[in-house]
């Protein structure tokens, strides 16, 4: 036995494992930047290196979790694609040939170029940023510079949702609202890519599943969130609006709508003038104070803003001038009861059986009206009336880019909001809730600045160049009525382009239409690659020279990025930025904060590690340039830099209005104020001590009915979130749209040109309607029989994650996913190569068959394909050899219409319609297989990029200090 025991010892030698090694010597909180979600993170440092990054359990956004991207932040910091020095181009654009320069030279060059523009014609500067999360600074800077030509990437991403929501509700899906995750019983999600927002949705879906609430996903592709839905509805792309209006039809037909809610909180009773041929047809009938009117049972008219009035939903009113008017609700009912919205009539178009449409309508009705929620929470409404309970209808909707990125996205999003309102589910228990700082008034303000009279040499604009026009008088047009902005936002091309039209800048600047620019200044926007439609042409435009002068058609390009992205190679001057772990930032209430339905919140980033190369935070650089250009907001009256401490100084001390600055927390000299208060010199310390975020939790009585809740509205005014405590009336019928429509019909003083009249008159319908997306309507549908979409994978966001050594192992190349039955019928096998053609061009791509995709749809992962040599990847990298972008196939312009080049965009907001793409598949011959076309030319690397290692052996601190054998 002793012998055997010895033998066992021999075969099972004991390893002494140190189970309590030192984890980290420092932990710093900050905010993640691996996507748009803005989660709170804790960065653990050991011997100065990042040991690991984890979610901050106290943080309101992510409550301790992070995602696949956030947990790979170490590799973003370790990337060899990090720029290391300012660069000045020496080769041709696109060659990647640069000379390294010092910051003194870089800043002097930029200031030299910009000062000349500002002194002569400030609009010759086009300043466009990407996913910067610092738009309140960049927009302010543009306004101080005096150029109207500013926008961020919203025009590419989600302006249809933002604008439709703001004009209808004073809030919107995603950023300004969310389902009541804790109480909803039925969630219907439309076109949500696997982010927006990432962790809150995942946390919430998990909760829904545990509670047994039902989750229906309406999406052409069954991946990600759709994979765990109780029911997946694989809709045909671009038809969601029709599906939703058919649900509305069913609910109206069965009288399963919340009439009381409509009366209390919406404009359902407001009278609409019925006088076809008159200049005010379709506008609200108003009294002498400008207040909309209601029809009392007696037939007399009453002010629509007074409380307690009893009024009709249906009926003809006679106005004092003898003309007829009818309530909004009557127009709603007339339109959507029409049999053209019956499930049988829309089923084929939507690719959804009529029986399914009926069933979803029935489930919504049953959940809304039979599972009603009543919370024993007393509250006081806007008119001072006390209510003992809060009643709610637990049906919630959420929507994102599958709705937004179509040319019918604005009206489709309006249709979703119409459905929500009819069910009485806006800001009620179990429904959909505003995220602070919303609700804001609907229709919204302010109006965009940047009209010709606002733009003059050496002068700032009187406001921010983005905003919300309410009538044709608010458009940004030149004296001839032509577009005045370089992107043609707020022109008749896209009157409500509230986020600008970044996707049109390069095309228009190249064409000098409406005028040439001098300098294109971009930040964190990969516009030479995946943030452009028609990518190859975009790169050509950036390289194109005027043969008469030999100069580039876009004379100067300044670009700031932390990494060697595709766009860097096209810049003349490169200002290298830091990573997100190396700088100050603020996620501001003035911009896109992290507020929740439970109250306002904002947050900061703080430097966690020190840059090991000659780079500077872009925001610091922008503030310094602003001061050296003497922009009024960036210098003191004495002409000294106003924020010598850079962005951190600005975050603390900048005041947009008295007492209102970038951060809302710990304001006032003693840090006791929330929302409004004097700058607090110790504000950042307070944020850091609190985990780099601030939140204000609203008391229970303010948590719902915020649009009509007296206590909430008064709190919001006190905190500076809104200007007055008037109730926010939900707009079933959006009068500003009718103002534009009337102009399209020839009424008013500011009229569209003849090329645009019919378009404006058609699409600016004050009630939502569905129309076929433009590309589909114009191309030969038998020639291009399929829809083509991209989806964003959960573990990657934007092109910048291909440089992440861990994330690119998970997804280093993409395939075109084809419905299995459709693919088989075409003779496709699992891994064939095909030609994918659109009316714009063709690319060769590898395929994969799958079942969970709408049969009329093919799709792939977004932004995986890379320009060879960019991001300091090996030229043989699969991102280049096998990865591809659909962007090559998407035109930024529609085929000419009456001689006019309209953008491939929503006609109301100008949102880029990249989900409208139609394609054809042709099998590629075997000889053609193995590499994706087109093949962008390999640029050189700046010499200062660090060589990528052959083997990465990441280990933070001293190795195996804790383990012993």
Which residues in the 283-322 window bind other proteins by CB under 8 A? 294, 297, 304, 306-315
Of 376 and 951, which CB lies nearer to other proteins in the complex structure?
951
User: Under the criterion CB under 8 A, does residue 108 sit at the interface with other proteins?
Assistant: no
Distances (CA, A) of 359 to 187, 246, 336, 338, 366: 15, 12, 18, 19, 10
DSSP assignment of 346-391, as one string?
A: HHHHHT--HHHHHHHHHHHHHHHHHS-EEE---EEBTTS-EES-EE
Q: What does the alpha-carbon distance between residue 166 and residue 257 come to, in Å, rounded to a whole number?
A: 23
Q: What does the alpha-carbon distance between residue 297 and residue 604 come to, in Å, rounded to a whole number?
A: 55
Among the listed residues 87, 107, 252, 455, the single contact to other proteins using CB under 8 A: 252
User: Under the criterion CB under 8 A, does residue 12 sit at the interface with other proteins?
Assistant: yes
Which residue in 87, 108, 84, 109 sits closest to 98, CA to CA? 87
Of 339 and 547, which CB lies nearer to other proteins in the complex structure?
339
Of 839 and 941, which CB lies nearer to other proteins in the complex structure?
941
Among the listed residues 28, 202, 433, 798, the single contact to other proteins using CB under 8 A: 202
Among the listed residues 161, 794, 818, 912, the single contact to other proteins using CB under 8 A: 794
Contacts (CB under 8 A) with other proteins, residues 335-354: 337-339
Q: What does the alpha-carbon distance between residue 530 and residue 887 come to, in Å, rounded to a whole number?
A: 7
Of 263 and 645, which CB lies nearer to other proteins in the complex structure?
263
Which residue in 491, 558, 470 sits closest to 518, CA to CA? 558
For the CB of residue 880, give the shortest distance to other proteins in the complex, in Å.
9
Among the listed residues 874, 922, 928, 930, the single contact to other proteins using CB under 8 A: 874
For the CB of residue 78, give the shortest distance to other proteins in the complex, in Å.
9
Among the listed residues 88, 253, 286, 696, the single contact to other proteins using CB under 8 A: 253
Residue 204's Cβ-count burial label (10 Å; 0-12, 13-18, 19+) is: buried
For the CB of residue 383, give the shortest distance to other proteins in the complex, in Å.
8
Q: Are 238 and 212 in contact (CB under 8 A)?
A: no
User: Under the criterion CB under 8 A, does residue 8 sit at the interface with other proteins?
Assistant: yes
Among the listed residues 182, 203, 717, 772, the single contact to other proteins using CB under 8 A: 203
User: Under the criterion CB under 8 A, does residue 873 sit at the interface with other proteins?
Assistant: yes
Can you say how many angstroms the Cα of residue 596 is from the centroid of all Cα atoms in its chain? 17
Is 730 strand, coil or helix? strand
User: Under the criterion CB under 8 A, does residue 278 sit at the interface with other proteins?
Assistant: no
Q: How many CB atoms lie within 10 A of CB 632?
A: 15
Of 259 and 456, which CB lies nearer to other proteins in the complex structure?
259
Helix ranges restricted to H, 792-906: 807-810, 820-825, 878-881
Whether a cis peptide bond, with omega within 30° of 0, leads into 439 is yes
Among the listed residues 6, 23, 92, 829, the single contact to other proteins using CB under 8 A: 23
For the CB of residue 447, give the shortest distance to other proteins in the complex, in Å.
28
Contacts (CB under 8 A) with other proteins, residues 355-394: 358-363, 365-366, 383
Q: How many CB atoms lie within 10 A of CB 369?
A: 15
Among the listed residues 128, 150, 167, 225, the single contact to other proteins using CB under 8 A: 225
Of 112 and 370, which CB lies nearer to other proteins in the complex structure?
370
For the CB of residue 44, give the shortest distance to other proteins in the complex, in Å.
9
Contacts (CB under 8 A) with other proteins, residues 806-845: 806-810, 812
Instruction: List Cβ neighbours of 409 (8 Å cut-off, separation of 6 or more).
Output: 160, 161, 164, 403, 906, 909, 911, 913
Q: What does the alpha-carbon distance between residue 858 and residue 359 come to, in Å, rounded to a whole number?
A: 27
Instruction: List Cβ neighbours of 359 (8 Å cut-off, separation of 6 or more).
Output: none
For the CB of residue 875, give the shortest distance to other proteins in the complex, in Å.
9
For the CB of residue 902, give the shortest distance to other proteins in the complex, in Å.
34
Contacts (CB under 8 A) with other proteins, residues 48-107: 51-55, 57, 62, 64-72, 74, 80
Among the listed residues 30, 138, 226, 731, the single contact to other proteins using CB under 8 A: 226
Partnered with residue 211 across adjacent β-strands are none
User: Under the criterion CB under 8 A, does residue 231 sit at the interface with other proteins?
Assistant: yes
For the CB of residue 666, give the shortest distance to other proteins in the complex, in Å.
26
User: Under the criterion CB under 8 A, does residue 951 sit at the interface with other proteins?
Assistant: yes
User: Under the criterion CB under 8 A, does residue 707 sit at the interface with other proteins?
Assistant: no
Among the listed residues 319, 609, 805, 893, the single contact to other proteins using CB under 8 A: 805
Q: How many CA atoms lie within 13 A of 385 on its CB side?
A: 8
Task: Give 286-294's long-range contacts (Cβ < 8 A, gap of 24+).
Answer: 292/267, 293/317, 293/319, 293/325, 294/269, 294/270, 294/327
Of 55 and 665, which CB lies nearer to other proteins in the complex structure?
55
User: Under the criterion CB under 8 A, does residue 260 sit at the interface with other proteins?
Assistant: yes
Instruction: List Cβ neighbours of 263 (8 Å cut-off, separation of 6 or more).
Output: 269, 311, 313
Among the listed residues 77, 149, 168, 199, the single contact to other proteins using CB under 8 A: 199
Q: What does the alpha-carbon distance between residue 122 and residue 458 come to, in Å, rounded to a whole number?
A: 7
DSSP assignment of 673-707, as one string?
A: BSSS----TTHHHHHHHTTSEEE-PPPGGGSS-GG
Give the total of residues touching other proteins (CB under 8 A): 129
Of 68 and 555, which CB lies nearer to other proteins in the complex structure?
68
The span of 137-145, 200-208, 534-542, 573-581 binding other proteins (CB under 8 A) equals 200-208
Q: Are 317 and 324 in contact (CB under 8 A)?
A: yes
Q: What does the alpha-carbon distance between residue 562 and residue 872 come to, in Å, rounded to a whole number?
A: 13
Contacts (CB under 8 A) with other proteins, residues 721-760: none
Contacts (CB under 8 A) with other proteins, residues 649-668: none
User: Under the criterion CB under 8 A, does residue 334 sit at the interface with other proteins?
Assistant: yes
For the CB of residue 37, give the shortest distance to other proteins in the complex, in Å.
10
Of 88 and 848, which CB lies nearer to other proteins in the complex structure?
848
Contacts (CB under 8 A) with other proteins, residues 523-582: none
Q: How many CA atoms lie within 13 A of 202 on its CB side?
A: 17
Among the listed residues 88, 103, 105, 263, the single contact to other proteins using CB under 8 A: 263
The span of 135-143, 197-205, 549-557, 746-754 binding other proteins (CB under 8 A) equals 197-205
Instruction: List Cβ neighbours of 202 (8 Å cut-off, separation of 6 or more).
Output: 65, 67
For the CB of residue 806, give the shortest distance to other proteins in the complex, in Å.
6
Among the listed residues 172, 198, 436, 619, the single contact to other proteins using CB under 8 A: 198
Of 172 and 872, which CB lies nearer to other proteins in the complex structure?
872
Of 122 and 200, which CB lies nearer to other proteins in the complex structure?
200
Q: What does the alpha-carbon distance between residue 394 and residue 370 come to, in Å, rounded to a whole number?
A: 10
Of 339 and 899, which CB lies nearer to other proteins in the complex structure?
339
Of 39 and 501, which CB lies nearer to other proteins in the complex structure?
39
Among the listed residues 22, 682, 781, 824, the single contact to other proteins using CB under 8 A: 22
The span of 227-235, 449-457, 500-508, 624-632 binding other proteins (CB under 8 A) equals 227-235
For the CB of residue 252, give the shortest distance to other proteins in the complex, in Å.
7
User: Under the criterion CB under 8 A, does residue 881 sit at the interface with other proteins?
Assistant: yes
Is 452 strand, coil or helix? helix
Q: What does the alpha-carbon distance between residue 603 and residue 41 come to, in Å, rounded to a whole number?
A: 11
The span of 9-17, 494-502, 770-778, 903-911 binding other proteins (CB under 8 A) equals 9-17
Please write down the HEC assignment for all residues of 72-106. HHHHHHCCCCECCCCEEECCCCCCCCEEECCHHHH
Judging by DSSP bridges, how do beta strands 556-561 and 519-523 pair with one another? parallel
């Amino acid at each position: 036995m002793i012998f055997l025991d010895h033998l066992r010892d021999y075969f099972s030698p004991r390893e002494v494992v140190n189970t309590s090694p030192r984890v980290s010597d420092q932990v710093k909180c900050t905010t993640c930047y691996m996507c748009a979600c803005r989660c709170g993170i804790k960065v653990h440092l050991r011997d100065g290196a990042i040991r690991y990054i984890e979610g901050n359990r106290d943080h309101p956004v992510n409550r301790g979790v992070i995602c696949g991207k956030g947990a790979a932040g170490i590799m973003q910091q370790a990337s060899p694609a990090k720029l290391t020095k300012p660069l000045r181009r020496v080769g041709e654009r696109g060659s990647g040939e640069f000379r390294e320069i010092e910051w003194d030279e870089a800043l002097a060059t930029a200031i030299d170029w910009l000062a000349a523009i500002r002194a002569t014609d400030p609009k010759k500067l086009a300043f466009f940023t990407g996913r910067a999360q610092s738009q309140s600074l960049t927009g302010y800077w543009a306004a101080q510079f005096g150029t109207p030509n500013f926008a961020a990437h919203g025009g590419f991403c989600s302006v249809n949702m933002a604008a439709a929501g703001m004009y209808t509700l004073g809030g919107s899906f995603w950023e300004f609202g969310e389902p009541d995750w804790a109480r909803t019983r039925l969630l219907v999600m439309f076109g949500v890519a696997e982010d927006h927002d990432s962790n809150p949705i995942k946390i919430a879906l998990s909760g829904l599943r545990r509670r047994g609430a039902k989750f229906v996903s309406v999406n052409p592709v069954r991946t990600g969130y759709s994979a765990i839905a109780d029911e997946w509805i694989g809709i045909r792309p671009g038809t969601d609006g029709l599906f939703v209006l058919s649900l509305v039809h069913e609910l109206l037909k069965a009288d399963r709508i919340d009439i009381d809610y409509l009366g209390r909180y919406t404009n359902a009773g407001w009278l609409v003038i019925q006088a076809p041929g008159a200049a005010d047809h379709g506008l609200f009938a108003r009294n002498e104070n400008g207040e909309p009117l209601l029809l009392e049972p007696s037939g007399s008219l009453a002010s629509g803003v007074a409380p307690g009035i009893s009024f009709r939903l249906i009926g003809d009113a006679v106005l004092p001038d003898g003309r007829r008017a009818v309530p909004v609700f009557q127009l709603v009912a007339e339109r959507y009861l029409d049999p053209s919205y019956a499930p049988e009539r829309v089923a084929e178009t939507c690719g959804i059986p009529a029986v399914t449409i009926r069933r979803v309508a029935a489930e919504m009705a049953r959940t809304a009206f039979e599972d009603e929620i009543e919370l024993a929470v007393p509250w006081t409404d806007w008119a001072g009336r006390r209510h003992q309970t809060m009643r709610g209808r637990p049906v919630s909707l959420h929507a994102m880019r599958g709705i937004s990125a179509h040319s019918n996205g604005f009206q489709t999003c309006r249709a979703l909001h119409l459905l929500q309102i009819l069910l009485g589910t806006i800001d009620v228990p179990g429904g959909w809730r505003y995220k602070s700082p919303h609700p804001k008034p609907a229709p919204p303000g302010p109006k965009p600045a940047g009209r010709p009279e606002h733009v003059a040499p050496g002068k700032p604009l009187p406001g921010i160049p983005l905003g919300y026009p309410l009538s044709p008088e608010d458009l940004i047009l030149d004296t001839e009525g032509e577009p005045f902005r370089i992107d043609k936002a707020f022109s008749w091309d896209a009157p409500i382009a509230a986020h600008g039209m970044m996707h049109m800048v390069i095309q228009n600047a190249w064409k000098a239409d409406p005028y040439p620019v001098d300098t294109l200044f971009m930040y964190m926007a990969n516009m030479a690659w995946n943030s452009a439609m028609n990518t190859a042409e975009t790169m050509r435009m950036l390289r194109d020279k005027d043969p008469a002068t030999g100069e580039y058609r876009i004379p100067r390009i300044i670009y700031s990025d932390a990494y060697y992205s595709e766009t860097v190679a096209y810049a003349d001057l490169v200002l290298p930025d830091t990573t997100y772990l190396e700088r100050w930032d603020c996620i501001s209430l003035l911009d896109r904060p992290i507020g929740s339905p439970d109250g306002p919140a904002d947050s900061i980033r703080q430097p966690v590690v020190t840059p090991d190369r000659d780079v500077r935070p872009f925001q610091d650089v922008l503030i310094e340039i602003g001061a050296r250009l003497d922009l009024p907001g960036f210098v003191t009256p004495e002409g000294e830099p106003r924020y010598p401490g850079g962005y951190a100084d600005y975050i603390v001390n900048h005041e947009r209005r008295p007492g209102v600055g970038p951060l809302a927390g710990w304001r006032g000299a003693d840090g006791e104020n929330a929302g409004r208060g004097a700058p607090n010199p110790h504000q950042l310390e307070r944020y850091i001590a609190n985990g780099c975020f601030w939140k204000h939790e609203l008391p229970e009585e303010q948590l719902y009915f915020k649009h009509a809740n007296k206590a909430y509205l008064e709190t919001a005014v006190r905190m500076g979130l809104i200007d007055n405590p008037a109730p926010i009336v939900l707009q079933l019928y959006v009068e500003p749209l009718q103002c534009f429509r009337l102009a399209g019909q020839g009424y008013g003083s500011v009229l569209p040109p003849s090329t645009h009249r019919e378009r404006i008159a058609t699409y600016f319908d004050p009630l939502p309607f569905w129309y076929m997306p433009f590309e589909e309507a114009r191309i030969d549908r038998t020639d291009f029989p399929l829809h083509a979409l991209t989806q964003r994978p959960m573990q990657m966001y934007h092109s910048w994650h291909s440089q992440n050594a861990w994330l690119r192992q998970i997804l280093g190349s993409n395939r075109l996913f084809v419905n299995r039955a459709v693919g088989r019928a075409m003779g496709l096998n699992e891994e064939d190569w095909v030609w994918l053609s659109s009316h714009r061009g063709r690319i060769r791509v590898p395929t994969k068959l799958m079942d969970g995709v709408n049969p009329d749809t093919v799709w792939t992962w977004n932004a995986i394909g890379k320009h060879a040599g960019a991001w300091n990847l090996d030229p043989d990298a699969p991102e280049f050899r096998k990865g591809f972008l659909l962007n090559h196939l998407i035109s930024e312009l529609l085929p000419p219409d009456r001689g006019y080049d309209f953008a491939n965009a929503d006609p109301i907001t100008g949102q880029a319609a990249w989900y409208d793409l139609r394609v054809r598949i042709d099998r590629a011959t075997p000889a053609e297989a193995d590499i994706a076309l087109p093949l962008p030319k390999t640029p050189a690397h700046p010499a200062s990029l660090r060589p990528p290692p052959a083997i990465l052996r990441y280990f933070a601190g001293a190795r195996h200090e804790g383990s012993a054998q």
